[in-house]
Amino acid sequence: MAENHDHHNQRGLIAFLGSMAFVFIFFFYIVFINKGVELNENVSDPAPADAPKYDLLSEKEPWLPKAEVVTAGQKLFKQNCALCHGQNGDLVGGIANARHLVDGQWKVGNGMIAHFKVLQNGIAGTQMASFKQTLKPGERWAILNYIETITKNKSTDKTEDIATFAKSAD
């Protein structure tokens, strides 16, 4: 059996110290010289605290299909309607007897004004409740604008008719 000249395992110690030295040098390089590792993760910076936040409720004509209104409406839809109508209004994850909003087989009536009335009054005798107490008119218009982007059965209400109706509707 070959005699073990490396009694105190000096080579192991050298290897260990060498790797520790490498780790520290590498650490120093990344932190102080290279200033971090580029991971290319495309992480978007969180909006700065003082960035102007979109305020749906200050929107003067929330029945118009402005991009910000639709985005706000989609968020409100997920919070208030998705439970029954599904995350995308197609009943997936919702309840079977709610309306498939993409197919848009409307029973109460076609168009933004009819839908707004549904949100004001609910549909008697069904699980479709009134949202008059829960959602401000502007929030309801935003949700309806979002529904317009997903439904195949779109509103043909004239903008001026919607505006006239909206000014008297709460």
- Residue ranges binding ligand HEC (CB under 6 A): 80-81, 83-85, 97-99, 106-109, 115, 118-119, 123, 126-128, 131, 143
Smallest gap from residue 147 Cβ to ligand HEC (A): 6
Cβ nearer to ligand HEC, comparing 56 with 118: 118
Residue tagged 């009536």 (tokens): 109
Cβ nearer to ligand HEC, comparing 48 with 125: 125
Task: Work out the burial of residue 139: count CB atoms within 10 Å of its CB; fewer than 13 is exposed, 13-18 middle, 19 or more buried.
Answer: buried
Cα separation, 75 vs 23, in Å, equals 47
Smallest gap from residue 57 Cβ to ligand HEC (A): 16
Smallest gap from residue 163 Cβ to ligand HEC (A): 20
DSSP of 101-148 = TTTT--SS-SHHHHHHHHHHH--TTSS----TTTS-HHHHHHHHHHHH
Cα separation, 129 vs 133, in Å, equals 10
Cβ nearer to ligand HEC, comparing 64 with 83: 83
Smallest gap from residue 22 Cβ to ligand HEC (A): 59
Cα separation, 169 vs 85, in Å, equals 24
Cβ nearer to ligand HEC, comparing 11 with 152: 152
Smallest gap from residue 167 Cβ to ligand HEC (A): 21
Residue 93 CA to its chain's centroid (Å): 16
Cβ nearer to ligand HEC, comparing 1 with 124: 124
